[in-house]
Chains A and B, each alone.
Chain A
Amino acid sequence: MADVVLRGDLHSTRPVPSSSGKEVTPTSISIGRCTVISAGSVIKPPCRMSRGQTHYYPIKIGDNVFVGPQCTISAISISSHVYIGANVTIQQFVIIKENVKVLPNTVIPANMVIASGSVVGGQPARVVGEVGEGWGVSGGGAGGGLGVGGGSEEKWVEGGDLRELVRSIK
């Protein structure tokens, strides 16, 4: 999507031992399959000050993750089947487990761990509910798609399954 900023340049400054002896740039952002990052979102690896130096840590995003528009994400890890609504701010070193729904306009404070199956919302975020058992299950019946529209079709996720959406973009 347009206007997405992935700050891959902010990689870990720790020296990585490599067999070839050359300077190897470590991966700073890894993103899984079928993951959508919407327009206007920024993904910036989290950093920590230590002895006057800024160290960046790699960010890991799993499969089937939907990141809504205008989000700022500095989490350390986001697991699979996570839905992040629009205008969400995820502060540094947040860990989001599987099957989590983050409601729009949420601010997740730094270092927060969000257990799997939760719905979080608010500023600061707190657990406001649980996702249903059917979250992230394609149900076998989703096949076919609507067959209308192209990449500009309204982004729409139902039940945490993103395969349809991803298919419609590609």
Chain B
Amino acid sequence: MAQPFPYTYYACDCYDNNKPQTVAEAAAEEERDLDPRHPRSNYSLYPLEHLLYCEDCQQIRCSRCVTEETLNWYCPSCLFEVPSSVVKSDGNRCTRNCFNCPVCTSPMTTNSLDTSGDNAAPYTLACPYCKWSTVEIDIEFEKMNGISGQLAKIANGGRQIPTQKERDKERERRKELEARFRDRSALSPSEDSPTMDTWREDHAPSRDDLFSNLSAFYKTQIETTTASNPFSHSDINFSSPSAYSRIMNMYQSTNKRNKRDKPSPVREAASTLEGLSIHDPSTDVAAIERIKTEGWATTLSPSQRHAQTNPNIRFDTELRPLATLLCTKRSKRCRSCRHILSKPESKITSTRYKIKVLALEHIPRLSIRALPSYFTNPTQPPTPAAPHTPYNALKSGIPTHFLLHLSNPLFDPIRVTLATPSTTPGKVQSRITILCPKFEVGANTDVWDDALASSLSPIKHASQDLNQIEAGKIWDRGRNWTSVIVEVIPGFLDNVPGSGLGPGLGEKFALDEKKKKAKQEGEDTDDELDEDEDVLEIPIFVRIEFEADVNAEERSLGDSRGNKNEREKREEAFWTVVGVGRIAAV
């Protein structure tokens, strides 16, 4: 997710932890700096509010190292919960009146076509954004409610869609007809098949027709071949996906058994009535003709097609309104110890959590901001109307000061050690110096303590001799926060490797290749910077040490009582990436 500058991302090292390592590798790992431009970093950097924390493992947990369990389904549009049984039978779409525009995805509204102003029938679904409506596919509704039920019965153009029962009946009728026809043609084989075509429908069977034919065919096939099978499901619900997967399993197992005792093998569908659809080249020709006459405008974009339940359609007259996809509420568990880290209340309208262990309550929050220029230049008065610090146009080669602010959510004071590579990885190498990499941050006490103490506390007054840019000194501190200065000398955009400095630490190999090619073609490699290569991101390694009460669980294991005030030393370390800004082109 694109974030405005400045931002801080926290790295979850779950990938590195799960990888089997030799000791040497692990040591090398320790030495390695986090490279925010490494392709893998994309998947391990998160904003702090997205991270959870496992108190048992004492580690950050990101979306990759938690497992999710669905609590319930709901429609994001009408906010009604959908029971899991309905989800299993009807799929993951809203069965109420929620539809999305098949052209632009925006939610559709039910409008009345009645001009008298009484909101009477007929109704249509219309998109308030792109103005597409079901009028364009000749569908109108008689009632305002139960739109999805009505829509399921009307095909584009207003034709009725047969129900499952009607389909079954129709199939039987045709099978009979076909059988009769076969008998007749056996009697007089010379006769051609004009009758065949007369009963054949004037339009090709729809996808749903084929699907019901195929499922009926497989049902009979399985019944005949697995008569001895104790798991035969003659009354299986064939519209549920789980039943289908079971059928597929049975299909495979019967095949295996065939090798042993050879009953009649399962046959594949061989005709339209059995669900076989044979590609007809004439439809292609027709489609091409249609594009010729009506132009590209009537065709669909890939995303529009894929959003449809039938992704094989080509033209805008075949579009159907899309029932809104359901959302889920999920609880999250730690992948390694299975403890629940977050569990929302199951009520859809509730935004509260039963359990929620957040990383931001356990690890310090780092935030960076540009130091207002009046601190570095005392002659300039601190005007409130000072221009915004141009995060988007950092000047190459000019030392710029940033304020790194660290706040402590823990109720114990922490000792912080910060580390950063002296130059940023990547092609544009900027020099970074944290002027005071070791400092303490006070405990997070009650806000009121602070309010009471601030008038008496010497800290605030002592800050007079703080607020100076000097190595080894912190900038400012408060109750549970400390800020230090980071000096950044943004690199030069045209100072690409090969023209002076050595190649960057995490140089991408493919890029090198590209560069080589570019070099062969011409000398102009300066414009070869990748997208976002001018973004200045500083990897910072944070290590905190603190003494905490031995946590309750461990205490209960030991013979408690006596050593109630026992403190244990704890240490935590993690990488963060601070996005400072974009270096301006010179």
Contacts and interface: CB of A to CB of B under 8 A. Distances in A.
Interface of A: 51, 91, 97-99, 103, 107, 109-119, 124-127, 129, 131-135, 137, 139-154, 156, 158-160
B107 A111 contact: yes
B364 A141 contact: yes
B384 A151 contact: yes
Given A91-B128, A139-B361, A148 B48 contact: no
Interface in B124-159: 127-130
B480 A141 contact: yes
A154 B361 contact: no
A37 B367 CA distance: 23
A6 B242 CA distance: 54
Contacts of B48: 134, 158-159
Contacts of A113: 76-79, 107
A68 to B, nearest CB: 10
A139 B359 CA distance: 9
Interface in B97-116: 104-107, 109
Nearest to B78: A113
Interface string B366-408: 0101111001000000001110110100000000000101011
B384 A134 contact: no
A117 B50 CA distance: 12
B128 A132 contact: no
A118 B47 CA distance: 16
Interface residues of B, number: 67
B117 A147 contact: no
A114 B75 CA distance: 10
Among B48, B78, B360, find the residue whose CB has the most chain A CB atoms closer than 10 A.
B360
A148 B351 contact: no
Contacts of A109: 106-107, 127-129
A63 to B, nearest CB: 13
Interface string B240-277: 00000000000000000000000000000000000000
B356 A133 contact: yes
23 contacts: A109-B128, A111-B128, A112-B106, A115-B76, A118-B327, A126-B105, A127-B76, A131-B49, A132-B46, A133-B52, A134-B51, A134-B358, A140-B444, A141-B360, A141-B364, A143-B447, A148-B372, A152-B386, A154-B369, A154-B389, A158-B48, A159-B48, A160-B49
B409 A141 contact: yes
B361 A146 contact: no
Contacts of A137: 49, 358, 360-361
B213 interface: no
B49 A110 contact: no
